[in-house]
Amino acid sequence: MSRLVLRNQEVRVIAALHLPPMPSAAQRQAPSLAEVIAYARRNAAIALENGIHGLYIQDLGDYPVARVVQPHTIARVTAVGCALRQDFPHAVLGVCLMAHGAEGPLAIAQAMDADFVRLKVYVGAMVKAEGLLEGCAYEAIQYRAAIRAEDIAILADVYDRTGMPLGAVPLTEAAQQAVTFGRADGLILTGRSFSESIAMVDEVQRANLGVPLFIGGGVTVENVAQALQVADGVIVSTALKRISAWSADAIGSDWDADKVRAFVSAAKQG
């Protein structure tokens, strides 16, 4: 198995910190930026102080999703990220944006001294709610070099479950394209069920691509040990929430410290 090592730490469990709607999200009850920052600080502490290896911030509350990353999104997510870096100078932090593109996440990551970005349409093309999106591997590698940010790792999704691939190639071939052509530092594989995710990771592991493979969703305290017997790492959010559902209320709910500790304990069995 391949390991993701950032800040001299082995990273196997990454928490996805989904931010509430930003003031620019055109939602009536969107909190202020100060309230979003307070939310992020509070929940990052719950995760990182109870054993989570790293986390990334994501503007999940800002929907519907823009077709391209908006300037105000970059500004506000950067403000959140810098606050977290101030609180946790040695933590593994990352960035993932809902809108498609590589320059925005990388710019934020560099500004907040983050360690990685998650890019969901890296090679090929996907049809998602916001339309047709084309791979951003070239943009990512060129822009990362241009801003001298090669130390920021790129975790690339292969067939992100929130869309449908256009002209799909076999899974292993798509993964190989992301690593060889796209020079991704790690891959994220997520099926529409936990069993499908396990099967996807197992298939790509056999290709020996030499990069860590993460399961990007559907991991719970009950199955995380099984997940980590196949995958190099997992990404989790809903399983740590006080409200464990997929709803607007759940997005804005805090993580539960007891659930975090239970998840970390279960992960150690993997």
Is 170 within a domain? yes
pLDDT of residue 251: 74
Report the half-sphere exposure of 155 (CA within 13 A, side-chain side).
32
- The count of other CB atoms within 10 Å of the CB of residue 146 is 10
Q: What is the 3-state secondary structure (H, E, C) of 17-82?
A: EECCCCCCCCCCCCCCHHHHHHHHHHHHHHHHCCCCCEEEEECCCCCCCCCCCCHHHHHHHHHHHH
- For tokens 């934020």, the residue is 108
- The count of other CB atoms within 10 Å of the CB of residue 32 is 10
pLDDT of residue 247: 65
pLDDT of residue 168: 84
Is 194 within a domain? no
- The count of other CB atoms within 10 Å of the CB of residue 181 is 14
pLDDT of residue 108: 98
Type of residue found at 59: D
pLDDT of residue 245: 64
pLDDT of residue 14: 98
Is 262 within a domain? no
Q: In sequence order, which residues have a C-beta less than 8 Å from that of residue 4 and are 6 or more positions away?
A: 10, 11, 12, 153, 155, 185, 186, 212, 214, 232, 233
Is 140 within a domain? yes
Report how far residue 148's alpha carbon sits from residue 139's, in angstroms, rounded to the nearest whole number: 14
Is 247 within a domain? no
Is 120 within a domain? yes
Is 215 within a domain? no
Report how far residue 125's alpha carbon sits from residue 250's, in angstroms, rounded to the nearest whole number: 30
Is 256 within a domain? no
Q: How many domains does the chain have?
A: 1
What pTM value is reported for the model?
Answer: 0.96
Per-residue pLDDT reduced to its tens digit, 214-247 = 999 999 999 999 999 999 999 999 999 987 766 6
pLDDT of residue 160: 86
| Enclosing domain of residue 53 | 4-189
Is residue 119 classed as helix, strand or coil in its secondary structure? Answer: strand
Average confidence (pLDDT) per 10 residues, the chain, 270 residues: 94 97 83 96 98 97 90 97 98 97 98 98 94 96 98 96 90 97 98 96 97 97 98 97 73 91 96
Q: CATH number, domain at 115?
A: 3.20.20.70
Type of residue found at 208: N
Structure tokens at 52: 């989570």
